[in-house]
Amino acid sequence: MKHIPRKRFGQHFLCDDGIIDAIVRAIAPLPGQPMVEIGPGLAALTQPLVERLGRLTVVELDRDLAARLRQHGQLDVIESDVLKVDFTQVAQRLGVSKVRVVGNLPYNISTPILFHLLAHVDAIADQHFMLQKEVIDRMVAQPATGDYGRLSVMLQWRYAMEDVLFVPPESFDPPPRVDSAVVRMVPHAAPAPVDIARLETLVQVAFSQRRKLLRHALGRWLDEQGYGGGFDLQRRAEEVPVQEFVALALELPQKA
């Protein structure tokens, strides 16, 4: 029976063989590697991956698709909302310290998924995701550009990222109304040991008034934290490199 894409799950199924082959080559799966695919859908990417890996774990929310996937002898199916999946436990269950993660992420919740995975980054070897191109543009953006913002800082602190492939709307059924792309995310081996919640709050405050100088919103917030350092507040948030935000977070007084 033909599966009808469900709008509430943000389902757009990849159907372009050339693009699928290019994504698999970018991922470069090797036999025996522990890998988790988010949102396998109709298995367009799943099948060529599992043929190379031998076995694959998949996370699928759609009950009908999960039932179909369970009929495949080489798949371990986790029927769940990906935001509720503990990827650290998945790695432990597979008997490894790190898993590779791939997927065509639902565009309506792609950012929450990225932040959810950030909490499990120590159990992840690398990530390859298909996303809305404008989201990837923000992820990889450099300072002093319009795309540079909270997402850029939070992800670049923890990952080296690369936009590896453009994917047009006609590569999907049904075609989305946006361009897509594939991003490679490799966790930094030795990231600065910053408290993620502290950094996230700092960055959120900094970009809350991105058209104004930092002395307005961030300046007041730093005063409230008891910070007395020499951070240059005569700039806009988009002018501050990732490493300076991280250094500032490390300099903040410890909370009582």
pLDDT of residue 12: 67
Has 60 been labeled as part of a binding site? yes
> pLDDT per residue over 171-193, tens digit each?
988 888 899 999 999 999 999 99
Tell me the percentage of the chain whose pLDDT exceeds 90.
Answer: 84
pLDDT of residue 254: 78
Mean pLDDT of 127-131: 96
Has 188 been labeled as part of a binding site? no
Tell me the percentage of the chain whose pLDDT exceeds 70.
Answer: 95
CATH homologous superfamily for the domain 196-251? rRNA adenine dimethylase, C-terminal domain (1.10.8.100)
Mean pLDDT of 33-39: 97
3-state secondary structure of 93: helix
> pLDDT per residue over 139-174, tens digit each?
999 999 999 999 999 999 999 999 999 999 999 888
Min mean pLDDT across 4-13, 30-39, 88-97 is at 4-13
Report the predicted TM-score, pTM, of the whole model to 2 decimal places: 0.90
CATH 3.40.50.300 is held by the domain 7-187:
no
DSSP H helices, the chain, are: 17-27, 46-53, 63-70, 87-93, 110-118, 133-139, 150-156, 196-206, 217-224, 242-251
Has 39 been labeled as part of a binding site? yes
Tell me the CA end-to-end span of the chain in Å, nearest whole number. 60
- 196-251 and 7-187 share a CATH fold: no
Has 32 been labeled as part of a binding site? no
Strand order of the β-sheet with 56-60 is: 75-79, 56-60, 35-38, 99-104, 124-132, 180-187, 159-167
Has 149 been labeled as part of a binding site? no
Q: Given a cut of 60, is residue 10 above it in pLDDT?
A: no
| Per-domain boundaries in the chain | 7-187, 196-251
Confidence of residue 219 (pLDDT cuts 50, 70, 90): very high
Q: Given a cut of 50, is residue 24 above it in pLDDT?
A: yes
Has 244 been labeled as part of a binding site? no
